[in-house]
Structure 1
Amino acid sequence: MSARWTTPADVAAKVRRRWDDGSLLTALARDEPFPGFDVPLRGPKAAELGSELAAAQDWVAQLERGAYDGRRYHLEYGTIGGQHIGRSRIPTRARLTEYDQAWALLGVGRSVAAYRRILELTAAEPAVRAWVEAQPLRALDAAEDWPRLLAAYRWLSDHRGSRRYLRQITARGVDTKFVERHRPLLARLLGTSQTAPGFLADLGLRARPDLVRLRFDPAALGLPKQLSEATVRVAELAELPADVRTAMIIENEITFLSVPVPAGGVVIWGKGFEVDRAGRMPWLAESKINYWGDLDTHGFAILNQLRAWLPQTRSFLMDRETLLAHRDRWVTEDSPTNARLDRLTAVEAQLYTDLVEDRLGPSVRLEQERLDWAWVQQRLPIS
């Protein structure tokens, strides 16, 4: 059989395009008439019947079997040939006139049945039903979860602005992990941001409080002298009437615990890009700020981010001398960044460029905790 001749698979491919873009199911959900498909069939020419008669007969038989007695498509016939070879009747068009034919041709009966169940479940929620109609394949991706999705949707809708924690959800069969797993879909249904913080904020629910861990000179924060370390809510710490002369912001936890607390100052555990939490302390605006992070591209990106809050920040132990002195302790940075960093000093920017462009080696990284401690002690800011 010629590869140019239309097969049942070719007919199905024409219909599948309307399944893959969701429009067939959308039409079904909106009770619209079946759109219909009229597929012209490419078959043997009259001149080919003599030399490829057996192949042409097989082609006709294949199309007729594929029609499955009209349950998948109807065939229309025409005649070809003439006085020299005789006239032959062959299929010329395949037509689909009802939804059930499309489902049978594509083998999607179970999916259609599941979609009908979703439509029934969402009938009482107009906004959800409209989304299910417009996004049928996405709705099917969560077919087994729709009873719980609706329970979560209703609870979240009813508790907008309640200032509750998500952990307090009481919807039947729903817990916080379920909501987090389906947050992108629930966000579309509820009209909120899909990000975790934005989702909660848009719903008027409470987020887990931001915390910052710090060691301190108690006098600088007006705290009892018996205290030397605390983990505090960022919003509450920002309200303290603090008088901090200097702050050290440190990337690594053990290094954070190891460096001395400056007199009249604090040491803050930066925890990577969570340095924003330190930056939100208004009483640091006029303080001397020293930052020490990993010597890699992301370390400089974090420094750049911190300076958006505290432009007076100075880096230490993030210099070329320190990097080259510890060559035997380098590791490989997994996913280096090449972002544009506009808040680095000229010296920092040059080293960052060298790291980005692999001038010192492929994806060079010197982790903070790998530095020789004697080297560190000699170069710590003393105030």
Structure 2
Amino acid sequence: MISFVDLQKKITKLYPKVLQAHVEQKSIFPLIVPFDKTFPKELSQWHDLIEPIIAHSREHHQFGYSIAYTQLHMRKHGVQTVIKEISFDNEAQLIGYLNKQEEYASFTSNVAKILQNYPVLKTWMSNNTSSILEYELDWDSLLAVVSYFVSNASPGIFIREIPVPVHTKFIEQHKAVLYELLNEVLPPAAIQQQYSGVSQFELRFGLKIIPARIRIRLLDATFARYYNNGMTDIEAPVDELANLEWPLQKVIVLENKKNFENAEVFLTLPNMESTAVIFGSGKAVSLLSKLKWLAPIPILYWGDIDAEGFEMLHQLRILFPQTASFCMDEETYQAFKEFEVKGSGAKERTLDLLTATEKKLYQQCCTKNMRLEQERIAHPFMLELLRKHINHFNA
């Protein structure tokens, strides 16, 4: 025998079916919730169970369910009239019972509006009725954005330049649902198929993105005066930096996963002849591929002693095989292992471009799930190892 609480849960689960049926213009009524034939040991328990069920039926309320009864023969209690099932004869009964008249009216209005503009979205709506409800106040704006892209495939402007009467953050805040809608509505030729996922929304639908930037500091003031009007600290779009023609002798790459967390190191490295340091925040390695002028220059790389740090070192060596690492060795780890913290749990990968000693430490990072962050390395210790590598380059 089902309780009234469990019955409520079953009835609530009927609502999405009604929404989907409305989109598909299907008739699904009457909707029936069957009851099992189990019976409590005591007759009084049975009466306690059915009393609230009967009290909420159409016999007592304008909106409610009909109850169908049946006869049940029981050894202990004899013949008893029990509930066989409850049913809703039409959507008005169910919607009214759930007290969702206003929400349902908004839903049906939005469905009609969407279908009128884009019949192709019918299947999407059937599979995403919850989204129609979630954005019930936004559909005029969402459809305006969709219409713009339909009329202006790959517009080549920034997202906030789109001439649609919505507030400036609307599209950014609704990328997830717009991503789905545009994939359904736009022809394949209007979509850059090589880009996928909401994180690549702009690239997929032909919008401009904020150019990726790299920060470089020249450690040689004389070099900076001659080649860069004295400026030593430069941050610029990577495409512009790709055109540099600096005759550098060495480049140091500092990589942080977080946003410039180790900026003090970047700003306090000592003067070094014809040397520059590149500062990244978890993405510089992937951007350096555009800096072709790095190809003949000795490169020193410093990242965290963890799985990701060695993976980025490997990635950098794919681009520039001459890259050496510093402060990513057993000596550094042993000196500061008391500051080791838990890593990301990354699984070991095949990194053929690591040296034997680097690979050993990388495997340890993976098996022990450990991380020794750059910020834990004492500044004088780092500078001493850096000088040793620089002297090796100069020898």
TM-score, normalised relative to structure 2 = 0.79
| Structure 1 position 180 matched with structure 2 position 172 | yes
Task: Tell whether the 8 Å contact from 1:221 to 1:242 is kept in structure 2 after alignment.
Answer: no
With over 3 angstroms needed to count, the CA separation of the structure-2 counterparts of 1:18 and 1:344, relative to structure 1, is: farther
Unaligned runs of 5+ in 1: none
After TM superposition, give the deviation of residue 137 of structure 1 in Å.
0.9
Asked whether the 8 Å contact 1:337–1:356 carries over to 2, the reply is yes
1:170 corresponds in structure 2 to 163
The yes-or-no answer on 1:270 pairing with 2:280 is yes
Paired residue for 2:378?
371
CA contact (8 A) 2:242 2:292 kept: yes
Partner in structure 1 of residue 84 of structure 2:
92
Is the Cα contact below 8 Å between 1:298 and 1:336 reproduced in 2?
A: no
Q: In the alignment, which residue of structure 2 is the partner of 1:65?
A: 55
Deviates further, 120-129 or 250-259: 120-129
CA offsets per residue over residues 166-213 of structure 1, 9 Å max, x none? 1213322321x33222211111111163333x2111221110011111
Listed as ranges, the matches of 1:1-383 within 5 Å are 5-19=1-15, 22-43=16-37, 52-69=42-59, 71-80=63-72, 89-126=81-118, 127-128=120-121, 130-175=123-168, 177-191=169-183, 193-196=196-199, 198-216=200-218, 223-224=227-228, 226-251=230-255, 252-260=262-270, 262-327=272-337, 330=339, 332-333=341-342, 335=344, 337-340=346-349, 342=351, 343-358=353-368, 363-368=370-375, 370-373=377-380, 376-377=383-384, 379-380=386-387, 381-382=389-390, 383=393
Secondary structure at 2:25 match in 1: coil
Code of the residue aligned with 1:373 in structure 2: it is: P
CA distance 1:306–1:105, change in 2 (3 Å): farther
Q: 1:68 to 1:159 in 2, by over 3 A?
A: same
- The answer as to whether partners of 2:326 and 2:385 remain within 8 angstroms in 1 is no
CA distances 1:210-247 after superposition (whole Å, capped 9, x unpaired): 11111246869993453433222211222334544432
SS in 1 for 2:203: helix
How many percent of aligned residue pairs carry the same amino acid?
Answer: 24
Q: Do the aligned partners of residues 280 and 58 (structure 1) sit closer, same or farther apart at CA in structure 2, a change above 3 Å counting?
A: same
- Supply the distance in 1 between the matched residues of 2:210 and 2:298 (Cα, whole angstroms): 30
Aligned residues: 366
Q: Which amino acid is 2:107 matched to?
A: Y
TM-score (norm. length: structure 1): 0.81
1:209 aligns to what SS in structure 2? coil
Cα deviation per residue 1:350-373 (whole Å; 9 max; x = unaligned)? 112223333xxx844242474232
Aligned-partner Cα distance in 1 for 2:19–2:314: 50
Is the CA contact (8 Å cut-off) linking 1:296 and 1:333 kept in structure 2? no
> 1:274–1:129: structure 2 CA closer, same or farther, 3 Å change rule?
farther
Deviation per CA, 1:316-350: give whole Å up to 9, x if none. Answer: 1211112222346x253564534525142221121
Distance across 1 between alignment mates of 2:27 and 2:303: 64
Which amino acid in structure 2 is aligned with residue 153 of structure 1?
V
1-structure distance, mates of 2:77, 2:355: 88
| Aligned CA-pair RMSD | 3.4
Cα distance, 1:11–1:154 mapped onto 2, change above 3 Å: same
- Matches of 2:38 and 2:325, distance apart in 1: 78
Q: Is the 8 A contact 1:301 1:341 kept in 2?
A: no
CA shift at 1:128, angstroms? 4.5
Task: Give distance in 1, aligned partners of 2:348 and 2:107.
Answer: 44
Work out the CA distance in 2 between the residues paired with 1:353 and 1:75: 67
AA at the equivalent of 1:202: R
